[in-house]
Amino acid sequence: MAAVVEGAPAITRVAVVGANGSMGRLVLSILDETDGFELFAGIGSADPLDAMVGADLVVDFTLPQVSPTVVDFAISHGLPIVVGTSGWSTERISRLVRPIDEAGIGALFIPNFSVGSVLATHFAALGARYFDSIEIVEAHHAGKVDSPSGTAVRTAELIGAARAELGPVSAPHVDQRARGQQVASVPVHSLRLSGLLAKQQVIFGGVGETLTITHDTYSPDSYRSGIRLALAAATSARGVIVGLDSLLGLSAPAALLSDGEIADGAPSGQAAATTP
């Protein structure tokens, strides 16, 4: 159970892991212009993780294959952490609940820092009980290495949780490779194209109608308010918090279902494999 307690430091010293990446640089800019925070260490891929020791808070914007090592290091050293790296499913996060609780820290796993994206995902979960046919199309810039995106995985998991009593979505012919990757029974289709930043569509099919919930990201500036919100909550939080939902006062479905993280090389058109 996550909670927020009193006693956060007056000035929060932040270690940013992945400081040389685009999101890392955005965090550096936010720290520079936000009262109550200062940069403790900007850590790149060639720097030792020991550089974060002594910080009040760690922010992780690395790669899916690197992030677990960063998170494990932060937990073992009692450092609160905000994780913005993609690749964290509900199942993977659930394995960290006990060590995070035992460390007495807060760990925020945020698939998307855009308030608009979080609201779109929330709306999708609300609609999940009223349609049996649901699919997700997510599109990102060509440099994004992981797929499906963390936002798409989170959206599918919330849809699955909202339908816990109704069962899986209707997804015919998912044995075909072109039918996407199933997450919590929801087919997810990923595009990686030049000229894009981020876009997600959740498409609901009913009798004689369709409903599409679309969110477009045109600039990384859309993440600023969410990053500030996470920074403000992180040092006083305890336990695991997933998504900006609770920080915005949005309630998630009671049961969270997950088919797990996508394993490298998992075939398209089949259910997502679970990463150890």
Residue 86 marked as a ligand binder = yes
- In single-letter form, the type of residue at position 252 comes to A
Structure tokens at 22: 């685009």
| Cβ-contact 106, 234 below 8 angstroms | yes
| Cβ-contact 2, 20 below 8 angstroms | no
Residue 22 marked as a ligand binder = yes
Residue 85 marked as a ligand binder = yes
Q: Encode 8-40 in three state secondary structure.
A: CCCCEEEEEECCCCHHHHHHHHHHHHCCCEEEE
Residue 210 marked as a ligand binder = no
Residue 1 marked as a ligand binder = no
Residue 136 CB contacts under 8 Å (≥ 6 apart), including other chains: 148, 152, 155, 156, 186, 187, 188, 189, 200, 201, 202, 203
Q: Tokens 């959740």 appear where? A: 202
Which of these, 113, 114, 147, 120, lies nearest to 212 by C-alpha position? 120
Cβ neighbours around 204 below 10 Å, total: 20
Query: What does the alpha-carbon distance between residue 16 and residue 26 come to, in Å, rounded to a whole number?
Result: 10
Q: Which residues are catalytic?
A: 140, 144
Q: Is 104 helix (H, G, I), strand (E, B) or coil?
A: coil
Residue 208 marked as a ligand binder = no
Residue 251 marked as a ligand binder = no
Residue 23 marked as a ligand binder = yes
- In single-letter form, the type of residue at position 59 comes to V
Residue 21 marked as a ligand binder = yes
Residue 87 marked as a ligand binder = no
Structure tokens at 91: 């199942």
As annotated, the binding site for (S)-2,3,4,5-tetrahydrodipicolinate includes: 141, 150-151
Annotated binding-site ranges for NAD(+): 18-23, 84-86
Feature table: binding site? 18-23, 84-86, 141, 150-151
